[in-house]
Chain A
Amino acid sequence: MIKYIIDTSMYFEEYVKNYTNASFIVGDGYDFKDGIFSGYNEEKRSYDRAKWAFKTVPAVDAAGQPILDPVTKLPTTKTATDPTLQDPRCVFQLMKKHYSRYDLDTVSRTTGTPVEQLKQVYDMYASTGRKDKAGTMMYAMGITQHTVGSENVRVMAMVQLLLGNIGIAGGGVNALRGESNVQGSTDFGLLYHNTAGYMETPTATLGDSTWDGFMGRITPKTGFFSNKNRFYVALQKAFYGKNATAENQWGLDYLPKLTAGKDYSHMKVFEAMAAGTIEGAFVWGANPVVGGPNAKQEKSALANLKWLVIADLWEHETSVFWSKEAGSNPADIQTEVFFLPACGSFEKEGSISNSGRWMQYRWEAIKPKGESKADLEMLHNLALKLKDLYKTSSNPNDAAINALTWDFGGEGHPDIDKVAREINGYDLTTGKLLNGFGVMTTPDAVLGNFSSGNWIYSGFYTEKDGNKSKKRDNVDKGIGNFLNWSFAWPANRRILYNRASCDLQGNPYNPNKVVIKWGGGKDAVTGAPIWGGNDVPDFAPTKAPDVADGSGKKPFIMTPSLVGNLYAPMNEGPFPEHYEPWESPAKNNFSSVQLNPAVKFPAKGFDQKGEADTFPIVATTYRVSEHWQTGAMTRNQEWLSELVPHMFIEISEELAKEKGISHKEEVIVSSARGEIKAFAMVTKRLRPYTVNGKKVHEIGMPWQFGFKGYAKGASANTLTPHIGDANTTIPEYKAFLCDVRRAK
């Protein structure tokens, strides 16, 4: 589609020239040959990304004099650009060259989508590259659960930038989350490499052993994240209060550290368990014996734990992994398993953040059943218990627990309002709630005078308005933004980078769908024009389009260059490139490199790989609306269970005929990892593809079944591979090889 958009000149030229890095000149280190970018280390399966840096030139002022660094007084540099986009080393030309190989015929041969349909889709979508049109992209696990998952998302972002579809009403690249609060969990740092507000976790390295060294590594010099130090200090003040000071490096020593370069993601944790390097685990609202890739191996790994704590609504396949019904011999397993009964979402108060970054408050509808408790209460009591156990300890290892402030009340249910206030943050000199994170970024703001448990949410809870995530005003005041319904981070902004909806002068590209515009508001004191409209400006409202440093014309405030990245260094390269899945029946048509060269292979014992001669059929997995995730909740609900009571595979009429399988018959599906029994649903909705001139069959199956609950069935993840994306390590659940045969 990128090639099609460029070849047909359907891109939004003004937007591409001004608001993306299309004009940036790439340095001489960048190269690309036969599927591999420059800087590749085959042994480590990783790239030296410094090779892809932009070309720099001396920075000069309007009079042609060198601009000196204010501190070092040395001449500074800037990225070389060609605003005409003609330089063969500019991003636009390199991109054009990179995708010139992706012609309709080759893409069609690779995907199995006929040329005419490809053209139809490309043409329809590319038609949104106009001022008065908007195109949105929504995606879910079908995009991310691949060894090239991140690159799939990157391609969508590039298409949206080319068509000027970011920052406008009805545009964007929108993730449809796989769980109702996935947005909230990543916002609050539940991923191992991030802490709250998308700031990095420190590593156990010399560089990160001092606050300045750590901040120097993670803080960009330009863009809004140049304030990271200020947000991180506020986070430390929320964690450790008076125990985080400039003198003790803001409590850096209290934070847990990662081993640099080590992968702590789901698959690697289970591989480490199998290797015996992890003693205990908390599995909180998850059911990896059903949901994990290569699930049989993950189940076996659990038996290496000394202890396992499960917090969930019902006993599920993971909590009884040791039992006979799980196929285990209880006598052989020494793991001590604790089960903490959790209550459901309707039984507790709190918030959920959706994909649009709205934090919406929810109230307790009914009291928790039995002995079940809210997750927050379990954590609260665990924290109190730990603090009590270590309170007299002088061991430096225990200092982090003693330094932690925990002012949410005594044993029992914590005061959730206090948690909400701590997330928002305080001005520590006055004890008042912050009105937003802006106050922390002013030149005279004193480090350590503020606390904020999550800077991106700062401003959701103010002295004047209270908890804004409780707002429920459903009156549309323009373009369906509903600014008084809940609170969206940051600063209640609904459309990120909304400055990009206007031209350089600040006039809306589409006057019928104004997001913001220059002069859309008036300064309360001077009456001078400021940014305003139907959204909160993603920009200092007083920053005029013609401000001298040029930043008034740069909408992408979170990137160091302040423009959108058509060229961006990912682990496998600055431009997305096609590679086949780990298991594929097809040869890569675009290079001799079959698999994403930056993907890491599974550990021994998890590395069973199927080849197309033994497993010629492509398989994919998905969910059904009647069952939630691993089914641990829905398979324990009779009314939902009766709607989808049995494990099935969807299979084309053509494949059914070849294999002699009839509709509703039992079949066995096998992969290099194992085999499962399922019913065959013969359907016209699946059809063989023609890939590289050969017929390729595909089957699909839901993955929510297990051996517990009312609706029982074989788990699809018995079949899936233990390999994932090169950036996120999300497993490749969506494409693997299998075979199918009749059960009888």
Chain B
Amino acid sequence: MATLKYAKFVDTTKCDGCRACMVACKNWNDLPVDPKAFDGAFNGYDSHEKLTANTWNIIKYTEKTNNTRNEGLDWFIAHNSCFHCGVAACEKACPEGAISHTEFGSVVIDEEKCVACGYCVVNCTFDVIRLGERTVNGKKKKVSTKCTLCTDRLDNGLHPACVTACHTGSLEFGDRAEMLAKAEARLDEIKDRYPNAQIYNPEGVGETTMFYLLADKPETYGLPVNPKVPTSLKVWKDYAQPVGKLLFGATTMAVVAGVVSNQLFNPRAKGETHEGGHDHE
């Protein structure tokens, strides 16, 4: 488990849904538009139904009736991207050691090592990772892609592009303890207005570098209530893989992984939901 020293704090109560974070992300990371955007399908205010290989963060808009305020209506708006889990299922599932934590707590994918097996995609706790085509060492290649927390910017003393673009202060990056204290203080401020408000920083995944202050229950935002990294994944990564590699060599073990992962660890293949009891579909 990575020791988290930093945090990207998402205060959903300050988001006005302008989507500058989405444009800033594409701009910095040089990501193209999703051709699907113009295919005639209309998604309401959500520009994308889900994260894609070319869209690493999205804004989700949720209308919900309540019986207390605003004539019984809330419009919840939230920035959504990779959580950068302290204990990352993707990292555990990767048979190639292509996924790792940086000193900033960001979970990054080494495109050179990635073989596009897709285990990280199916095992991701939050349905974030996608397979996409990239040019690696001058060659087109399929790889796993997702938000990097702009680790290349952090390396150079800059904040993630989405944070820099945010004009309401909904997105912040900084010292983890400071960000958590800020979130607690803000929670006190908004409790009266949003009785179900809470900080979302799940322990079951070793806490997350991107954590939320939600104005309502996690379910409202389509988030798992109590997500956990499956024990089987931890056993696989922390015991079986090292021992197996020692006994059978790395290549054999990668092939074994292909069989084992699909049969054992893929919750969708087994028709199950995550341990937290939440189904993304």
Contact = CB atoms under 8 A, between A and B. Distances in A.
B33 A646 contact: no
A645 interface: yes
Nearest to A712: B38
Contacts of B26: 639
A7 interface: no
A639 B18 contact: no
A315 B27 CA distance: 24
A509 B38 CA distance: 58
Contact of B33 (A641, A663, A684, A687): A641
B43 interface: yes
B38 A625 contact: no
B157 interface: no
B65 A684 contact: yes
Nearest to B20: A625
Contacts of B42: 646, 648, 664, 679, 681
B44 A642 contact: no
B34 interface: yes
Nearest to A648: B42
| Interface size bracket, A side | 20 to 34
Interface of B is mostly: loop
Given A639-B33, A643-B47, A664-B44, A685 B18 contact: no
Interface in B207-262: none
Nearest to B70: A685
A711 interface: yes
A681 B33 contact: no
A9 interface: no
A645 B38 contact: yes
A634 to B, nearest CB: 10
Contacts of A263: none
A648 B42 CA distance: 9
Contact of A625 (B19, B27, B32, B34): B19
Nearest to B64: A684
A640 B23 contact: yes
A625 B37 contact: no
B63 interface: yes
A450 to B, nearest CB: 42
A41 interface: no
A641 B23 CA distance: 10
Contact of B23 (A639, A648, A687, A710): A639
B35 to A, nearest CB: 9
Contacts of B75: 685
B73 interface: yes
Nearest to B71: A687
A323 interface: no
Interface string A671-713: 0000000010101110100000000000000000000001100
A664 B47 contact: no
A674 B148 CA distance: 49
Given A639-B26, A684-B65, A711-B38, A664 B43 contact: yes
Interface residues of B, number: 25
Given A683-B63, A685-B63, A642 B34 contact: yes
A641 B35 CA distance: 11
A79 B75 CA distance: 54
Interface string A657-670: 00000011000000
B22 interface: yes
A691 to B, nearest CB: 16
B161 to A, nearest CB: 12
Nearest to A625: B18
A711 B40 CA distance: 10
A13 B140 CA distance: 75
Which residue among A638, A642, A710 has the maximum number of chain B CB atoms within 10 Å of its CB? A642
Interface string B14-56: 0011110011001100001110011011111101000000000
Given A626-B19, A684-B73, A641 B44 contact: no
Interface in B64-122: 65, 71, 73, 75
Contacts of A308: none
Contact of A642 (B16, B33, B65): B33
A328 B42 CA distance: 29
A644 interface: yes
A683 B73 CA distance: 11
Given A645-B37, A711-B38, A684 B23 contact: no
Which residue among A640, A664, A684 has the maximum number of chain B CB atoms within 10 Å of its CB? A684
B63 A681 contact: no
Interface string A627-656: 000000000001111111110100000000
Contacts of B63: 683-685
Contacts of B47: 642-645
A648 B37 CA distance: 14
B43 A642 contact: no
Nearest to B16: A625
A257 B179 CA distance: 63
Contacts of A643: 19, 22-23, 37, 47
5 contacts: A626-B19, A638-B32, A643-B23, A643-B37, A685-B63
Given A639-B27, A642-B34, 5 more contacts: A625-B18, A640-B23, A642-B33, A664-B42, A681-B42
The 10 closest A-B pairs by CB, nearest first: A642-B37, A679-B42, A642-B33, A643-B47, A625-B18, A638-B33, A684-B63, A664-B42, A645-B37, A639-B23
Interface of B: 16-19, 22-23, 26-27, 32-34, 37-38, 40-45, 47, 63, 65, 71, 73, 75
Interface of A: 625-626, 638-646, 648, 663-664, 679, 681, 683-685, 687, 710-711
